[in-house]
Structure 1
Amino acid sequence: AFACNSYNKVTVAQSNSITYVAPARTGDRLTAMAVEIARSGRSGTWDVTVTNQDGATIALFRGLARTISGTLFEEE
């Protein structure tokens, strides 16, 4: 959500899928790294990789988003 809303345009989920690669354990520190794959018009695609503190992949996420009207905050 943060990645696809980073252009200050209200953007909502259109569809997504998550593949769980390995279990996370209690106490793990998880990090999500989002990469914009494509953005055209009002549509965009982002891939997110979730890793633990050892760099092991925990989950893979692909989200498709659609921009709707409005902004998240006023720009100066």
Structure 2
Amino acid sequence: AAWGTAQKLRAWQQEALDLYMARHPKDFLAVATPGAGKTTFALRIATTLLDAGVVNRVTIVAPTDHLKRQWADAAAKVG
């Protein structure tokens, strides 16, 4: 799947999402190797919170232009 657009979450992503939803934390840190699906995971949480009206916007901070474009492209693919 293209960056951030996988329909089915990997096992670690689903486990982390379940943990996030059970605890409703203010902060949550996901650490994984490159290509493990951090963008997909974060976008799933973001869309869930946006759809539920918990938040009304999401800000992504990335250290490089390449990562900024990657995030923008992935977010555009999921709407």
Task: State the TM-score, normalizing by the size of structure 2.
Answer: 0.24
More helix by share: 2
Of structures 1 and 2, the one scoring higher in RCO (CA 8 A, sep 6+) is 2
* TM, length-normalised to structure 1: 0.24
